[in-house]
């Protein structure tokens, strides 16, 4: 049936976890695009061969199928960039290699442009070097937060100028602003109170 | 630009207002930004920007951080002040984040509306406008990589198909700051209109579209 393939694409996306991006399904997309071309060719063919007695329903059906394919394909890529956008806010500008592998060339370009746009916007805020909006995402309940180091991360210079050496499985009290980016990078883990 | 009298960090925590009528205190600016933040958080559409106040507050924070650094580390008050500063920073970043999210979701719509406004009553700050334009262009370019492989009658994306509009009829909670004589509520189902009076200090639940103009003027506060 028409449009089956494109629905499969969308289902594949829907079944994956929301904080992940499944591999860009190039074959699936090409399949849908070629279905659209076939349908288009069929319409033109019908128009040419049966000029006197146009099979309007057949043409309408094919048009609707093309439109549906288009709509669904765009939904597919739109949903993917929405997830990519979430990742920019969660993980930062540098994507892990397993995510990068799953992206198409155009998606990588989109992501780089998005980072540029976002950074140049954040630079304009405030009096001097700008404001990092990806920080301070939760209302602060306390100034310090207890964290556990997941790796031997080495030296960390504190805001006060002291140097702390992060060892695997040790716990520390760090200021929230300093701990937040490290938690997101997976270096530290928040210890639940 | 706003002028702010040089304040001591204690003013941040004190609830008392200074008797200075001419110049705005940091307290007052903070209050404005907090209100803008709440309104932005609860309204379905993007509201006029308050960048001047945000910039002003950030300037203050910078000054206060400088003052704090000078104080002795053992002073218990330092941590309290720092926490207060973190709270204010959260309000500011959350406010700006909410706006960006709206700009991203309703990008086409926001840009169209912005084009009809003059520079003085622009809803977006110049930086936000730049962000919106770049975001729209970036999305269009990305769509185009797939659209150009489609049959030629179908390889364009209509404005109507890519636009996402905020639901202006969604219900909001609000508190009235001033007596408003007449608010018109449209009942879209039956096509009727109802006129009501909002008392000073009263709280209501109603469709956003009915009170949108009062939110922008600041006579009602979304809660």
The tens digit of pLDDT for each residue in A71-84 reads 898 889 999 999 99
Cβ contacts of B134 on chain A, cutoff 8 Å: 113, 116-117
Does A93 have pLDDT greater than 60?
Answer: yes
Portion 49-88 of B in contact with A at CB < 8 A: 54-55, 58-59, 62, 73, 79, 82-83, 86-87
How far apart CA A19 and CA A99 sit, in angstroms, is: 11
Q: What are phi and psi of A54, to 5 degrees?
A: -65, 130
B142 to chain A, closest Cα gap in Å: 6
Contact flag B54-A125 (C-beta cutoff 8 Å): yes
The whole model's pTM is what? 0.80
Cβ contacts of A142 on chain B, cutoff 8 Å: 83
* Residue B20 pLDDT level (bands cut at 50, 70, 90): very low
Cβ contacts of B151 on chain A, cutoff 8 Å: 36-37, 40, 66
Question: What are A48's two structure tokens?
Answer: 């040419």
Alpha helix stretches (DSSP H) within A17-162: 26-49, 56-90, 97-101, 105-124
Between the alpha carbon of residue A169 and those of residues A147, A166, A189, A191, the distances in Å are 10, 9, 10, 11
**B37, B93, B156, best to mutate vs chain A, most A CBs in 10 Å:** B93
Cβ contacts of A127 on chain B, cutoff 8 Å: 55, 58-59, 62
Size of interface A-B (CB pairs under 8 A): 109
Residue identified by tokens 């084009």 is: B115
A13 contacts: CB under 8 Å, gap ≥ 6: A22, A76, A79, A80
Q: What is the pLDDT of residue B158?
A: 76
Cβ contacts of B130 on chain A, cutoff 8 Å: 120-121
* Residue B23 pLDDT level (bands cut at 50, 70, 90): low
Which residue would you say has higher pLDDT here, A100 or B11? A100
**B149, B152, B160, best to mutate vs chain A, most A CBs in 10 Å:** B149
Question: What are A114's two structure tokens?
Answer: 């998005």
**B29 CB neighbour count, 10 Å cutoff:** 20
Q: What is the pLDDT of residue A112?
A: 92
**A74, A79, A82, A123, best to mutate vs chain B, most B CBs in 10 Å:** A74
Question: What are B49's two structure tokens?
Answer: 């920007």
Q: Are the beta carbons of A46 and A55 closer than 8 angstroms?
A: yes
Average pLDDT, chain B: 80
Residue of chain B nearest A131, judged by CA positions: B93
Q: What is the pLDDT of residue B76?
A: 76
Q: What is the pLDDT of residue A113?
A: 92
* Residue B206 pLDDT level (bands cut at 50, 70, 90): confident
Q: What is the pLDDT of residue B134?
A: 92
Name the residue among B90, B131, B146 with its Cβ closest to that of A139. B90
Cβ contacts of A77 on chain B, cutoff 8 Å: 142-143, 146
**A117, A122, A173, A179, best to mutate vs chain B, most B CBs in 10 Å:** A117
Residue identified by tokens 């040790």 is: A170
**B58 CB neighbour count, 10 Å cutoff:** 20
Residue of chain A nearest B86, judged by CA positions: A140
B216 contacts: CB under 8 Å, gap ≥ 6: B47, B48
In this prediction the ipTM stands at 0.78
Cβ contacts of A140 on chain B, cutoff 8 Å: 83, 86-87, 90
Question: What are B146's two structure tokens?
Answer: 């797939």
The tens digit of pLDDT for each residue in B96-149 reads 999 999 999 888 888 888 888 887 788 888 888 999 999 999 988 998 888 888
How far apart CA A137 and CA B89 sit, in angstroms, is: 10
Q: What are phi and psi of A166, to 5 degrees?
A: -85, 120
How far apart CA A3 and CA A165 sit, in angstroms, is: 57
Tell me the three-class secondary structure of B117-148, residue by residue: CCCCCCCCCHHHHHHHHHHHHHHHHHHHHHHC
* Residue B8 pLDDT level (bands cut at 50, 70, 90): very low
A135 to chain B, closest Cα gap in Å: 8
Average pLDDT, chain A: 84
B99 contacts: CB under 8 Å, gap ≥ 6: B40, B46, B49, B128
Question: What are A30's two structure tokens?
Answer: 């090409």
Q: Are the beta carbons of A43 and B153 closer than 8 angstroms?
A: no
Name the residue among A37, A109, A143 with its Cβ closest to that of B83. A143
Residue identified by tokens 């937060």 is: A145
Q: What is the pLDDT of residue B3?
A: 40
Q: Are the beta carbons of A113 and B138 closer than 8 angstroms?
A: yes
The tens digit of pLDDT for each residue in A136-192 reads 777 777 778 888 888 887 788 777 777 888 888 888 888 877 888 788 777 888 886
How far apart CA B138 and CA B37 sit, in angstroms, is: 28
Burial class (CB within 10 angstroms; exposed 0-12, middle 13-18, buried 19+) of A21: buried
- Quickly list DSSP for B84-112: HHHHHHHHHHHHHHHHHHHHHHTHHHHHH
Residue identified by tokens 């180091």 is: A149
Q: Are the beta carbons of B104 and B136 closer than 8 angstroms?
A: no
Does B10 have pLDDT greater than 70?
Answer: no
Does A85 have pLDDT greater than 60?
Answer: yes
Contact flag A110-B138 (C-beta cutoff 8 Å): yes
Contact flag B86-A143 (C-beta cutoff 8 Å): yes
Does B4 have pLDDT greater than 60?
Answer: no
Q: H/E element holding A20?
A: none
Q: What is the pLDDT of residue A193?
A: 57
The backbone region for B207, taken as left when phi is positive above 0, alpha when psi lies in -120 to 50, beta otherwise, is beta
Direct distance between the N- and C-terminal alpha carbons of chain A, in angstroms, rounded to an integer: 55
Query: What's the full length of chain A, in residues?
Result: 193
The tens digit of pLDDT for each residue in A109-142 reads 999 999 999 988 888 887 777 777 887 777 777 7
How far apart CA B80 and CA B76 sit, in angstroms, is: 7
Residue of chain B nearest A107, judged by CA positions: B142
How confident is the model over B169-191, as a mean pLDDT?
80
């Amino acid at each position: 049936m028409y449009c089956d393939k494109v629905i499969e694409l969308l289902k594949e996306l829907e079944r994956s976890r929301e904080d992940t991006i499944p591999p860009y399904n190039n074959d699936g997309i090409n399949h849908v695009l070629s279905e659209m071309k076939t349908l288009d060719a069929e319409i033109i063919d019908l128009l040419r061969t049966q000029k006197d007695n146009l099979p309007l329903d057949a043409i309408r059906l094919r048009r609707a199928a093309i439109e549906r394919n288009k709509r669904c394909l765009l939904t597919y890529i739109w949903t993917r960039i929405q997830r990519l956008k979430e990742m920019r806010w969660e993980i930062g500008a540098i994507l892990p290699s397993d995510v990068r592998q799953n992206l198409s060339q155009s998606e990588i370009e989109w992501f780089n442009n998005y980072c540029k746009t976002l950074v140049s916007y954040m630079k304009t805020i405030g009096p001097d070097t700008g404001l990092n909006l990806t920080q301070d995402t939760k209302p602060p309940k306390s100034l310090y937060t207890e964290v556990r180091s997941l790796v031997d991360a080495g030296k960390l210079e504190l805001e006060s100028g002291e140097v702390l050496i992060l060892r695997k499985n040790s716990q520390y009290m760090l200021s929230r602003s300093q701990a937040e980016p490290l938690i997101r990078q997976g270096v530290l883990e928040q210890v639940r109170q | 630009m706003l002028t702010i009298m040089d304040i001591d960090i204690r003013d941040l925590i004190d609830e008392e207002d200074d008797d200075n009528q001419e110049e705005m205190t940091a307290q007052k600016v903070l209050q404005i930004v907090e209100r803008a933040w709440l309104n932005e958080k609860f309204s379905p559409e993007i509201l006029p920007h308050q960048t001047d106040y945000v910039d002003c507050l950030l300037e203050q924070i910078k000054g206060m951080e400088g003052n704090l650094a000078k104080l002795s580390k053992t002073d218990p008050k330092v941590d309290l002040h720092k926490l207060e500063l973190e709270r204010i920073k959260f309000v500011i970043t959350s406010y700006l984040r909410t706006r960006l999210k709206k700009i991203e979701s309703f990008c086409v719509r926001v840009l169209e509306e912005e084009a009809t406004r003059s520079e003085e009553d622009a809803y977006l700050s110049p930086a936000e406008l730049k962000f919106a334009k770049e975001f729209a262009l970036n999305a269009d370019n990305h769509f185009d990589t797939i659209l150009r492989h489609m049959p030629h009658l179908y390889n364009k994306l209509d404005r109507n198909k890519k636009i996402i509009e905020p639901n202006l009829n969604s219900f909001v909670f609000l508190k009235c700051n001033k007596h408003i004589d007449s608010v018109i509520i449209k009942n879209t189902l039956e096509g009727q209109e109802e006129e009501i009076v909002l008392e000073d200090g009263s709280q209501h639940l109603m469709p956003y579209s009915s009170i949108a103009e009062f939110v922008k003027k600041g006579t009602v506060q979304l809660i």
